[in-house]
Chains A and B, each alone.
Chain A
Amino acid sequence: MSNQIFQAAIIASILASTIRLATPLLLAALGELVTERSGVMNLGVEGMMLLSAFTSFMAAYVTGSLWLGVLAAILTGGLMALLMAFMAITLKVEQIVTGMALNLLGAGISLFWLRLMTATAKVDYLIIEIFKPIQIPYLSKLPYVGEILFSQRWLTYFAFLMVPVIWFFLYRTKYGLQIRSVGENPKAVDTKGVNVARLQYAATIFGGMMAGLGGAFLTLAASPRFVPGISGGRGWLAIVIVIAGNWLPWRITLAALIFAFLDAFQLHVQGVGVQIPYQILLALPYVFAIIAMMSSRARSEAPSSLGAPYTRE
């Protein structure tokens, strides 16, 4: 009997971690979804998340305000995406390599400034107070479900709230339709007198802001300190999630939850002390990413003009 309660508690704990760990993946993936739907392939998600995680941490550390940290993350993600948009849409440079450049930029600048800060502060590492979980009244008191769904941090609620919002935006609004059309056939949209570049800029910058929020979650809601490379491939997983989710908001949510579950599983198995080398468990999401790509042959919703710069003839 007590064993059963113990098991149920562990399962509830794994599921609660799944929801929590899905947050940065979901935020970044939803942003990338909008970007890719407009036909821009931004591979710089990892770099945008990483630098945003850093700037949000630093802003929170210096000012003492977590909300200014959030603002810094949104600005950082947005600015990096603006750079991506300028290179990809205005200069029409190869989008794949530009995305890589953003990743290197995020890694390089965050490491440089981190070393600079720790050298001047003369400490080994800096620590901040992070966001606390918000208990939803009544609901959080429910057995198990309360712990899993209603005792999360606000960014988690926000991320899951964005799923229907983005679905509604993409499928039920004029601008959503235009963005989807630009990704399919920019020429047709252009002929209608709609400014293609402006839509793509907006979609790319929005994607960057969302990736920034995903980065902010890592330092303001998950870990009280910044370590180099804290994003740890989550930006890349977000890109995989968009593909595995076939560019559909609900499926993307499902894919994000599966990846988060693997991560949560790994955390708890380590805690229980199962005899599997933890490095193999840590590699699990990345192995699964490749498997997911192998099995998700259905790319019916992939934007037709993804990654191809649009030039008027």
Chain B
Amino acid sequence: MTIPEKASKLKQWQITPRAQNSRLWRIFSVILAFLAALMISSFLLLTARINLASAFGALFFGAFGSWRAFMDTLARSSPLILTGLAATIAFRAKVWNIGGEGQLIGGAMAGFLAFTLFSGLPKPLFFLLVLLFAFAGGALLGALSGVLKVRFNVDEIISTVMMNYIILYFLSFMLSAEGPWREPKSYYQQTVLILPEFRFPVLFPRSEVHLGFLVALFCALIIKILLDATPLGYEIRALGFNPKAMKFKGTNISKLVVVTMLVSGGLAGLAGAGELFGVQDRLVMDIANGLGYTGIIVAMLAGLDPLGVVLAALLFGGLINGAYRLQTVTGVPSAFVDAIQAIVLLCVLASFVLSRYQIRRVVDVESDLSSSDHS
């Protein structure tokens, strides 16, 4: 608290809330947050006794240093675009879907089910059904949490997190020795290998960028239009902005919450199909591998903007990709990226404060108690 200096006309710095949220300033503060996160992460690298320049160099070259590296980055960003979009649409409505991880697994499992059912069908139809099933698998889990929220008053944060654990144990059962999906005579918890002809087609020669990347870009566009230019999108945004007004307006909030969770879960489910049919080529226990949680960070970094999600996902895809090179070149465990991600999220959250306030130099006429509320 400042001591009130009565009747003094001092020039002083003052922090005042911004009248308008400047978009440029917002982007600037996110970049600032990202740089701050890299600096803080450097301390972690120092605990590994690693030369910082060579570490960040390896990270960068591993991510964007060559055509091949860039292609791998694109491939790794595809699931992040989808889980990022999943978090974006839910968080816009202030519906806290933390279940991207589980919904991704649900999507992958439904996708595998489609594989066992429809592998005889012509390829375009087969892929369409796979995507449809994957969406439905994730959407089912999402909508379930939505219904639990509106009908049974179960907080969606709790139910989605619990669902993450439950679905993982379910997958573990399906892949166990007694389970129906276990590869016969395998030592590992995995299904049979999906043969190349059933995998998602590759977009660029000699790369791992598969159909899932196109699907992700397409979804980003759809969600952008959905949020910005449709009545449903308006309602989703309004629900996040002012749920009370929505109630007075007579909007069916219960339905809106369930629909939001359904779409959100479905998007994460699609990511599961991409991982199954484009990257892992079989259902394994760590099919999700944190991609659902990273989606939350991607969404926050993007300021909950669908097109921003694509950029943020590229950045994080690059980080994950670069981490592998980091490990091979310097021996720093690739888990470094997991730590960086959390630090980025914290810095981005803190940067929201920057964009909410502005620092101005004002002539202080009455330095009264009103300026002392930042105790």
Chain A interfacial positions (CB closer than 8 Å to B): 43, 83, 87, 91-94, 96-98, 100-102, 104-105, 107-109, 111-116, 119, 195, 197, 232-233, 236, 239-240, 243, 277, 279-280, 282-283, 286-287, 289-290, 293-294, 297, 311-312
Contacts and interface: CB of A to CB of B under 8 A. Distances in A.
A101 B40 CA distance: 15
A104 B338 contact: yes
A125 to B, nearest CB: 15
Which of A96, A97, A98 lies at the interface centre, i.e. has the most chain B CB atoms within 10 A of its CB? A97
B293 interface: yes
Interface string B94-135: 001010000000000000000000000000000000000000
A279 B176 contact: yes
Interface stretch (B74-82, B155-163, B219-227, B275-283): B155-163
B60 interface: no
A240 B154 CA distance: 10
A167 to B, nearest CB: 25
B259 to A, nearest CB: 21
B301 to A, nearest CB: 11
Contact of A107 (B331, B332, B338, B345): B338
A105 B343 contact: yes
Given A108-B335, A286-B166, A297 B153 contact: yes
Contacts of A98: 346, 349
B375 A97 contact: no
Contacts of B353: 91-93
B362 interface: no
Contact of B165 (A283, A293, A294): A283
Given A43-B157, A116-B333, A290-B154, A279 B47 contact: no
Given A239-B158, A290-B162, A94 B169 contact: no
Contact of B335 (A102, A115, A283, A290): A115
B140 interface: no
Contacts of A236: 158, 161-162
Which of A104, A277, A290 lies at the interface centre, i.e. has the most chain B CB atoms within 10 A of its CB? A104
Contact of A280 (B169, B333, B335): B169
Contacts of B217: none
Interface string B33-63: 0000000000010011000000000000000
Given A109-B339, A233-B161, 14 more contacts: A93-B353, A94-B352, A97-B296, A100-B345, A101-B349, A112-B339, A116-B48, A119-B331, A197-B375, A243-B158, A282-B172, A293-B154, A294-B148, A294-B154
Interface in B171-218: 172-173, 176, 178-179
9 contacts: A108-B335, A112-B335, A233-B161, A233-B162, A279-B170, A289-B162, A294-B148, A294-B154, A311-B373
Contacts of A287: 162, 166
A104 B293 contact: yes
Contacts of A240: 158, 162
B268 interface: no
Nearest to B336: A112
Given A93-B350, A97-B300, A108-B341, A293 B159 contact: yes
Contacts of A100: 98, 293, 296, 345
Nearest to A282: B169
Contacts of A113: 47
Contacts of B170: 279, 283
B331 to A, nearest CB: 7
A285 to B, nearest CB: 8
Contacts of B343: 105
Contacts of B338: 104, 107-108, 111-112
A115 B48 CA distance: 10
Interface of B: 44, 47-48, 91, 96, 98, 148, 152-155, 157-159, 161-162, 165-166, 169-170, 172-173, 176, 178-179, 290, 293, 296-297, 300, 331-333, 335-343, 345-346, 349-350, 352-353, 373, 375
A280 B340 CA distance: 34
Contacts of A243: 155, 158
Contact of B350 (A91, A105, A233): A91
A280 B176 CA distance: 12
Contact of B342 (A101, A232, A311): A101
Contacts of A94: 349, 352
A104 B297 contact: yes
Given A105-B342, A277-B178, A293-B158, A195 B153 contact: no
Nearest to B339: A108
B151 to A, nearest CB: 9
A165 to B, nearest CB: 27
Contacts of A43: 157
A286 B297 CA distance: 25
Given A93-B352, A280-B173, A105 B157 contact: no
Contacts of A283: 165-166, 169-170
Contact of B148 (A87, A101, A290, A311): A290
Contacts of B98: 100
A155 to B, nearest CB: 24
A115 B333 contact: yes
B371 to A, nearest CB: 11
Contacts of A289: 158, 162
A112 B333 contact: yes
Contacts of B336: 112
A96 B161 CA distance: 13
Contacts of B162: 233, 236, 240, 286-287, 289-290
B333 A104 contact: no
Contacts of B333: 111-112, 115-116, 119
Contacts of B148: 290, 293-294
B157 to A, nearest CB: 7
